[in-house]
Structure 1
Amino acid sequence: MVFRPTARIVAAALAMSGSAGCASLSESTEQTVLVQTVLDHRQIGGVGCVLYNDAGKWFVTTPGRVTLRKSSAPLRIDCKKEGAGWAYERVDPKPNGNLWGNLILTAGVGYFIDQNTGAGYDFPSTLTVIMRPTEERDELPPPAAGVTLY
């Protein structure tokens, strides 16, 4: 069988979009992240942190790893160490490659599934939380919801 140039291009495009696949089938809805805390440009340990989003709530003592449920909603991080400091941060998820492939491959149906299960999104693998000294908490109003981590 002789392929015409346009047939080769279509076949290649189908193969590439097929490799992207449905994130809910090929990606996990869970992700393990490392949480570390920094105060005055130094890493500090023994800080208790609560991570939460619309899919659940997780506890970790830094530095430490925690497995959380992925979501298209932001991840909130609330940390505190008595006598040392506190932090309240927000991490926005980033769409992974499977989410966009799924939009094309399934005409949008898989995109909505991946968005609802969180499989089409990832959080950074390392979350560095910037702590504030305890004395700042008394001087400043409560932190605004939504400081974005990179």
Structure 2
Amino acid sequence: MKHTKILYALVGMAVAMTTGCASIVNDSSQAIKVDTLDESGKTVSGAECQLSNDFGQFSVRSGNTAMVHRSSKDLDIVCKESGMKDGTARAVSRANAGMAGNIIFGGGIGAIIDHNKGTAYTYPTWVQLQFGKTLVFDRSMEKDGMPVPGAHPTGATAQK
């Protein structure tokens, strides 16, 4: 009887160590709100936007939220609207707290699993592309309830 309890405890620990922490905490998909602005900074709703990473392509109309598959790779975004130059952007993928949990608590196998599944990473949750510009959105600049400020690929923050 005592050996059975020990066996169950060991099996439970083995399962816990092979399961990724981020897989438990985070889903493999993430919602991203995509807005578009014209060259003067005025909101343009309904533009056709394509988001893509190594897991596939995702479509959304600006002003709405897209569900994308999380990945360690950055997310490329292109929005099109008749009569305007395309708005292009890159949403930077950053490791999330689930990955840190894997590293801190020794789940090396879990970290590998979560990296491969993408669950250890998060994109900015709200971006605003501007037609005629190429911007970079970094989750490290995110503030609750606000769109992430876009930066030019050279590092300068975009003006609205």
**Contact 1:103–1:109 (CA under 8 A) maintained in structure 2:** no
- In 2 relative to 1, CA 107–60 (structure 1 residues): closer, same or farther, beyond 3 Å? closer
- In 2 relative to 1, CA 22–107 (structure 1 residues): closer, same or farther, beyond 3 Å? closer
Task: Give the TM-score normalised by structure 1.
Answer: 0.72
Q: CA deviation at 1:107?
A: 4.3
Residue deviations 1:9-35 (CA, integer Å, cap 9, x gap): xxxxxxxxxxxx710122101111110
Counterpart-to-counterpart distance in 2, 1:54 and 1:107: 25
Aligned to 1:88: 88
Aligned to 1:12: none
Aligned to 1:105: 105
The structure, 1 or 2, with the larger RCO (C-alpha pairs under 8 Å, 6+ apart) is 1
Name whichever of 80-89 and 51-60 sits farther off. 80-89
Task: Give the TM-score normalised by structure 2.
Answer: 0.68
Aligned to 2:136: 148
Runs of 4+ in 1 over 2 A off after TM superposition: none
Aligned to 1:115: 115
Counterpart-to-counterpart distance in 1, 2:59 and 2:26: 24
- Largest Rg, 1 or 2: 1
- In 2 relative to 1, CA 107–66 (structure 1 residues): closer, same or farther, beyond 3 Å? closer
1:71 paired with 2:59, answer: no
Q: CA deviation at 1:68?
A: 0.9
Aligned to 2:61: 61
Counterpart-to-counterpart distance in 2, 1:46 and 1:98: 34
**Structure 1 unaligned residues grouped into runs of 5+:** 1-20, 134-142
**Contact 2:47–2:62 (CA under 8 A) maintained in structure 1:** yes
The residue identity in structure 2 corresponding to 1:119 is T
% same residue: 29
Aligned to 2:24: 25
The residue identity in structure 1 corresponding to 2:136 is T
Matched residue count: 119
Residue deviations 1:29-68 (CA, integer Å, cap 9, x gap): 1111110011221111121110000011111111111111
**Contact 2:92–2:124 (CA under 8 A) maintained in structure 1:** no
Secondary structure of the 1:85 match is: coil
